[in-house]
């Protein structure tokens, strides 16, 4: 099990590295995080919802992601509440103050079921567990679902990760160990210092002090990895930090309060010719080459926020001047004319059962669409042939993850001519009189396909008079696999796993 002294210590990436290293050694690692809180999700082949970080760890282990790897997923939706996902399915809304009262027992049952399902699928595999936050939040310890309760249940050997970049690494480690209960402390088999700048030998005095004071071996000092990854092969693509610097194209991404599934933008960040500029409420839009409206957990609230800061008017002016806009999922819905939310599922004040009486909001009116939200949640992997941008046939894989259905309202191009793909329900596009385009799709991960992504970028490049990029481009998964290999290379070089992997005598 990989535990951390705090959130952001590097547990997810270290767990992914551990999975890839074990796979290289001939084992079958099984990534597992009992409970995760995230708006960055993936949908497995059975239509189960799970955190993207566990999907990435599955790819590191060379496995297909399945929701059993993350049996409890909490998706914050504002007002101290979260949607609760158990074993890939939505099971209700939890208020923070009542979460442990109402959801502890069902959550622990889901975790045990997920473990059983995962081990049944891969008998003989080695579980690689990721903790959450700090394992010693003393007010939560008796009810903690995913750290030491799980470690004790499975008798896991634990690696404690501390981020030295934050400062205070000795206090982080000694304080965490001091707050462990006597029955928990023997679970900690090793310490890992993460994000160390400079030569690891410079930490040798610190290593000796920690081992003397804690009695626990320091198994490794992981370097500040950005120093090991060249610009064209950047670790930023795993940690999702926007790339800076000059580029051929500038693409603005609206970073609204309930932004979800921002991993959809990773493949664009991987393009050396592209710079993403994240636009927060209040920032000027400017004149980028394209604007992307990503997914949202609370679409109508984010739409209201967009209006409150004047981004709606900026977008309208941008399109009127010939700009191009692309929306994904909630972003697609915002581009339409009307959004009906009778049940209050997407941040409106609806609540009735009769759609004719429900809440309605005007969209940005950049595509002739109407969206109606209902209780059904569309969760499915899809494989579709893309009709736009025009060119040779391209089949793209992705997934749906949304409430609501959208319909073309019939003016302008016919609904069939306006479809983004051969599927009637996955997306639409429309050219503007000023030479730009407005388009959108429900297909998450659409930019993962290298050929389609390059075709979309080449439209933008053509308008700038830039030469086209080759559309014979590998899918983003290939680049992600190379990054995971480089991460594992560094992990093997700097971490001694033997004490962690040795069975108890």
**pLDDT of the residue at 431:** 95
pLDDT tens, position by position, 159-185? 999 999 989 999 999 999 999 999 999
| Cα–Cα distances in angstroms (integers) from residue 338 to residues 383, 409, 477, in the given order | 28, 10, 36
Picking from 223, 239, 255, the residue at the C-terminal end of a domain is 223
State the pLDDT at residue 311. Answer: 96
Residue 499 bridge partners (DSSP): none
Q: Are residues 203 and 285 part of one domain?
A: no
Mode of pairing for the β-strands spanning 89-95 and 81-86: antiparallel
Classify residue 140: in a domain, yes or no.
Answer: yes
261 and 183 together in one domain: no
Domain stop point among 159, 193, 223: 223
Is there a domain that residue 494 lies in? Answer: no
> Is 501 inside a domain boundary?
no
237 & 373 share domain: yes
In which band, very low, low, confident or very high, does the pLDDT at 244 lie, cut at 50, 70 and 90?
Answer: low
CA–CA distance, 367 with 434 (Å, rounded to integer):
15
Q: DSSP E strands: which ranges in 317-436? A: 325-328, 338-341, 359-362, 369-386, 394-408, 427-431
Q: Are residues 261 and 180 in the same domain?
A: no
Q: Please indicate, yes or no, whether residues 138 and 255 belong to a single structural domain of this protein.
A: no
> Is the residue at 278 inside a domain?
yes
Is residue 381 domain-shared with residue 434, that is, in the same domain? yes
**Strand pairing partners for 254?**
279
Gap between the Cα atoms of 5 and 25, Å rounded: 28
| Domain boundary, last residue among 198, 223, 248 | 223
Q: Give the residue numbers annotated as catalytic, written as ranges.
A: 329, 444
Domain that holds residue 114: 2-223
**Which band of pLDDT confidence, cut at 50, 70 and 90, is reported for residue 228?**
low
Give the mean pLDDT of 381-409. Answer: 95
Q: Decide if 498 is inside a domain.
A: no
- 265/167 same-domain check: no
Structural domain contains residue 500: no
Model confidence at 70, pLDDT cuts 50, 70, 90, reads very high
* C-alpha–C-alpha distance, residues 127 and 130, integer Å: 10
CATH of the domain at 237: 3.40.50.880
- Residue 490: inside a domain: no
Q: Is the pLDDT of residue 348 over 70?
A: no
**73: which 2 tokens?**
């997923």
Could you give the number of structural domains in the chain?
2
Confirm whether 493 is domain-assigned: no
Give the domain CATH number at 83: 3.40.50.300
Same domain, 346 and 467: yes
Domain identity same for 137 and 286: no
Task: List, for residues 143-163, the tens digit of each pLDDT value.
Answer: 889 999 999 999 999 999 999
Beta carbons of 67 and 88 less than 8 angstroms apart: yes
Beta bridge partners of 362: 338
- The answer to whether residues 348 and 369 belong to one domain is yes
> Does the structure show a pLDDT above 60 at 237?
no
Total-model pTM: 0.93
* Residues 191, 45 share a domain: yes
pLDDT in tens, 442-459: 999 999 999 999 999 999
Average pLDDT of the segment spanning 306-326: 97
CA distances from 440 to 215, 294, 324, 332, 414 (A): 56, 10, 11, 5, 16
**Are residues 131 and 263 located together in one domain of the fold?**
no
């Amino acid at each position: 099990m990989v535990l951390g002294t705090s959130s952001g210590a590097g547990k997810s990436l270290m767990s992914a590295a551990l999975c890839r290293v074990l796979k290289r050694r001939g084992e079958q690692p099984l990534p597992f995080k009992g409970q995760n809180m995230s708006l960055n999700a993936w949908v497995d082949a059975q239509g189960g919802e799970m955190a993207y970080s566990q999907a990435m760890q599955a790819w590191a282990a060379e496995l297909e992601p399945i929701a059993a790897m993350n049996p409890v997923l909490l998706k914050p939706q504002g007002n101290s509440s979260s949607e609760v996902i158990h074993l890939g399915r939505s099971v209700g809304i939890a208020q923070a103050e009542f979460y442990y009262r109402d959801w502890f027992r069902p959550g622990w049952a889901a975790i045990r079921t997920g473990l059983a399902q995962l081990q049944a699928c891969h008998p003989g595999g080695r579980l690689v567990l990721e903790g959450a936050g700090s394992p010693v939040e003393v007010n939560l310890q008796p009810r903690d679902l995913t750290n030491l309760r799980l470690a004790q249940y499975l008798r896991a050997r634990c690696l404690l990760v501390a981020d030295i970049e934050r400062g205070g690494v000795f206090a982080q480690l000694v304080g965490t160990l001091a707050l462990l209960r006597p029955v928990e402390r023997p679970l900690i088999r090793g310490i890992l210092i993460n994000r160390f700048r400079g030569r690891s030998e410079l930490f040798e005095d610190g290593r000796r002090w920690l081992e003397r004071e804690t009695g626990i071996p320091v198994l490794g000092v992981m370097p500040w990895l950005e120093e090991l990854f060249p610009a064209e092969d950047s670790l930023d693509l795993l940690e999702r930090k926007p790339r800076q610097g000059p580029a051929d194209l500038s693409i603005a991404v609206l970073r609204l309060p309930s932004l979800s599934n921002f991993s959809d933008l990773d493949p664009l960040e991987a393009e050396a010719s592209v710079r993403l500029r994240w636009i927060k409420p209040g920032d000027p839009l400017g004149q980028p080459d394209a604007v992307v409206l990503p997914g949202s957990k609370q679409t109508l609230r984010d739409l209201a926020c967009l209006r409150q800061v004047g981004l709606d008017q900026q977008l309208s002016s941008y399109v009127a001047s010939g700009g191009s806009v692309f929306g994904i999922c909630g972003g697609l819905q915002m581009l339409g004319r009307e959004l009906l939310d009778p049940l209050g599922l997407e941040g409106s004040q609806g609540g009735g059962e009769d759609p004719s009486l429900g809440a309605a909001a005007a969209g940005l009116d950049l595509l002739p669409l109407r969206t109606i939200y209902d209780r059904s949640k569309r969760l499915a992997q899809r494989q579709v042939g893309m009709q736009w941008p025009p060119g040779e046939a391209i089949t793209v894989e992705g997934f749906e993850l949304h409430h609501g259905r959208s319909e073309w309202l019939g003016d302008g191009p016919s609904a069939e001519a306006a479809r983004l793909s051969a599927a009637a329900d996955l997306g639409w596009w429309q050219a503007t009189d000023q030479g730009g385009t407005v388009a959108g799709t429900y297909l998450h991960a659409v930019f993962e396909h290298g050929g389609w992504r390059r075709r979309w970028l080449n439209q933008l490049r053509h308008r700038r008079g830039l030469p086209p990029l080759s559309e014979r481009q590998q899918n983003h998964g290939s680049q992600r696999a190379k990054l995971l290999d480089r991460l594992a290379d560094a992990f093997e070089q700097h971490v001694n796993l033997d004490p962690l992997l040795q069975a108890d005598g």
